[in-house]
């Protein structure tokens, strides 16, 4: 069935490029984008139109790094750096997901919250618990979201409450992969060694082989904090740099997403570029845990792929518009730290990073990609101040800095409306 969405269309096909079409039409056929045009073409004149009037129609937001089981601690526990924070707050919070009923309640609320904030695709960590991970996948699918979800592997340094035996970790990973196929293609599995300190060499090697055999993507953390980096050096004296502790086990390729990369050296960044590894920048988390300020402009200039993540609950903001404004602010801190050498990012660039750059990890083209199911967020910026006299790029900038959940009035994911006038799930 054909349909048309009309409104002020704003897409970011490339870094720094905004394509704006005031009062434009998104042509849909069974939820798949057929074109972005100023007026309905031949054969589309009789097609039903959903008219969003003067509102902004943005691309769906991609949260390329977040931890589902940390949702209960969102906005708390901000007083420690990474390694202490994990032990004191994150691990005990995640340990509660051994209880499937608890997991169900939390994950249902999280999925609804993500949709209400305009996040339509996620690349997400669950906990080490297989059943809770399957529940997370089910709840995301039920809410209409799309994404990759990983059962976390951790067979060392998790304390007594959040650690698996190596053999259990392997067995449970296989059980999870067997059972999660029912959620594809909407929600798909991604292998998730938590980070090098959490996984023995044996488990890492097994995961690398599994990724290759089954052609699975991989996510983990990289060079987030100086204490973490020193620890990895102790654990892997044969590796000159942190990334090598993934690469040597086959966990470093064009389907790998690495969160943070705050302290990545020039050589580590080069290894990312050469392998096509995605760096996921999580600006709020990096400040909250005092991790540092990531050199995002430098990475982009060097040709490294960068997307954005909320990294809840080290990050306190679930909404990607807020993560985009945090990205611009962090880039200014970086500019100050480098005496202007690292130029700040613009709002338009942050919008690209939070949309098209994340879509690429899903193999989806730029902007409202033709031939793909529609992912879109409709923003009513009326209450943010008078729009008269503002251009569409200015209105996008203001939405990035000022819009919240209240301004998001409709969300489309996978070609269907998942929230909006009829309420969010």
Question: Residues 113, 138, 224, 244: which binds ligand GUN (CB under 6 A)?
Answer: 224
Q: What angle do CA 323, 309, 400 make, to 5 degrees?
A: 20
Q: Examine residue 311 and tell whether it contacts Fe ion (CB under 5 A).
A: yes
Interacting partner of 224 out of ligand GUN, Fe ion, none (Cβ under 5 to 8 A depending on kind): ligand GUN
Stretch that binds ligand GUN, among 82-90, 138-146, 241-249, 266-274 (CB under 6 A): 82-90
Cβ–Cβ under 8 Å, residues 357 and 364: no
Nearest approach, Cβ of residue 135 and ligand GUN (Å): 19
Question: Residues 285, 305, 325, 331: which binds ligand GUN (CB under 6 A)?
Answer: 285
Token pair, residue 334, equals 């970086």
Interacting partner of 86 out of ligand GUN, Fe ion, none (Cβ under 5 to 8 A depending on kind): ligand GUN
Interacting partner of 97 out of ligand GUN, Fe ion, none (Cβ under 5 to 8 A depending on kind): none
Phi, psi for residue 342 in degrees, rounded to 5: -90, 100
Question: Residues 26, 86, 348, 350: which binds ligand GUN (CB under 6 A)?
Answer: 86
Contact string 174-203 vs ligand GUN (x = CB under 6 A): --------------------xx--------
Interacting partner of 194 out of Fe ion, ligand GUN, none (Cβ under 5 to 8 A depending on kind): ligand GUN
Contact string 242-271 vs Fe ion (x = CB under 5 A): -----------------x------------
Residues near Fe ion (CB under 5 A), total:
2
Token pair, residue 153, equals 């592997």
Report the C-alpha gap between 6 and 395 in whole angstroms: 17
Give 226: exposed, middle or buried? Use CB within 10 Å, 0-12, 13-18, 19+: middle
**Of 8 and 198, which CB lies nearer to ligand GUN in the complex structure?**
198
Nearest approach, Cβ of residue 389 and Fe ion (Å): 41
Interacting partner of 6 out of Fe ion, ligand GUN, none (Cβ under 5 to 8 A depending on kind): none
Q: Examine residue 281 and tell whether it contacts ligand GUN (CB under 6 A).
A: no
Q: Examine residue 44 and tell whether it contacts ligand GUN (CB under 6 A).
A: no
Please count the other Cβ atoms lying within 10 Å of the Cβ belonging to residue 322: 21
Nearest approach, Cβ of residue 125 and ligand GUN (Å): 7
Question: Residues 55, 67, 269, 398: which binds ligand GUN (CB under 6 A)?
Answer: 67
Report the C-alpha gap between 220 and 125 in whole angstroms: 9
Nearest approach, Cβ of residue 422 and Fe ion (Å): 33
Report the C-alpha gap between 307 and 282 in whole angstroms: 9
SS3 percent helix, strand, coil of the chain, rounded to 5, is 40, 25, 35
Phi, psi for residue 344 in degrees, rounded to 5: -65, 155
Report the C-alpha gap between 362 and 220 in whole angstroms: 17
Cβ–Cβ under 8 Å, residues 345 and 331: yes
Report the C-alpha gap between 119 and 270 in whole angstroms: 30
Residues near ligand GUN (CB under 6 A), total:
11
Task: Name the 3-class secondary structure at 175.
Answer: helix
**Of 139 and 311, which CB lies nearer to Fe ion in the complex structure?**
311
Cβ–Cβ under 8 Å, residues 95 and 419: no
Q: Examine residue 232 and tell whether it contacts ligand GUN (CB under 6 A).
A: no
For the chain, the straight-line distance linking the first and the last C-alpha, in angstroms and rounded, comes to 24
Binding site for ligand GUN (CB under 6 A): 67, 82, 86, 90, 194-195, 221, 224, 285, 311, 314
Binding site for Fe ion (CB under 5 A): 259, 311
């Amino acid at each position: 069935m054909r349909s048309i969405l009309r409104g002020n269309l704003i897409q970011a096909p490339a870094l720094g490029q905004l394509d704006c079409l005031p009062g434009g039409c998104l042509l849909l056929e069974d939820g798949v984008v057929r074109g972005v045009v100023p007026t309905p073409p031949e054969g589309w004149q009789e097609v039903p139109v959903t008219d969003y009037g003067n509102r902004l129609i943005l691309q769906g937001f991609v949260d390329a790094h977040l931890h589902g089981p940390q949702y209960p601690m969102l906005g708390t526990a901000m007083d420690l750096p990474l390694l202490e924070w994990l032990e004191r707050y994150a691990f005990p919070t995640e340990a509660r997901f051994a209880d499937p009923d608890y997991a169900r309640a939390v994950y249902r609320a999280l999925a609804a919250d993500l949709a209400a904030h305009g996040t339509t695709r996620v690349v997400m960590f669950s906990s080490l618990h297989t059943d809770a991970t399957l529940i997370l996948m089910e709840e995301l699918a039920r809410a209409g979201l799309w994404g990759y979800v990983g059962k976390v592997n951790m067979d060392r340094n998790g304390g007594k409450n959040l650690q698996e035996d190596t053999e259990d970790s392997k067995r449970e990973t296989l059980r999870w992969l067997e059972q999660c196929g029912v959620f594809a293609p909407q929600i798909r599995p991604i292998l998730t060694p938590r980070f090098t300190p959490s996984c023995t060499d044996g488990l890492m090697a097994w995961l690398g082989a599994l990724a290759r055999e089954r052609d699975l993507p991989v996510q983990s953390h990289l060079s987030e904090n100086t204490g973490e980096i020193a620890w990895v050096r102790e654990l892997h004296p044969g590796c000159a740099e942190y990334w090598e502790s993934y690469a040597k086990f086959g966990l470093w390729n064009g389907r790998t997403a690495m969160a943070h990369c705050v302290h990545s050296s020039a050589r580590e960044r080069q290894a990312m570029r050469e392998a096509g590894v995605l760096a996921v920048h999580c600006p709020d988390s990096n400040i909250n845990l005092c991790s540092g300020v990531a050199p995002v402009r430098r990475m982009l200039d060097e040709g490294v792929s960068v997307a954005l993540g909320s990294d809840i609950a080290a990050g306190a903001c679930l909404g990607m518009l807020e993560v985009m404004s945090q990205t611009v602010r962090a880039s200014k801190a970086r500019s100050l730290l480098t005496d202007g050498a690292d130029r700040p990012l613009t709002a338009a660039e942050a919008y690209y990073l939070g949309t098209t750059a994340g879509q690429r990890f899903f193999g989806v083209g730029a902007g409202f990609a033709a031939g793909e199911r529609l992912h879109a967020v409709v923003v009513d910026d009326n209450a943010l101040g008078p729009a008269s006299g503002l251009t569409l790029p200015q209105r996008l900038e203001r939405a990035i800095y000022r819009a919240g959940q209240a301004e998001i009035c409709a969300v489309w994911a996978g070609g269907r409306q998942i929230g909006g006038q009829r309420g969010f799930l």
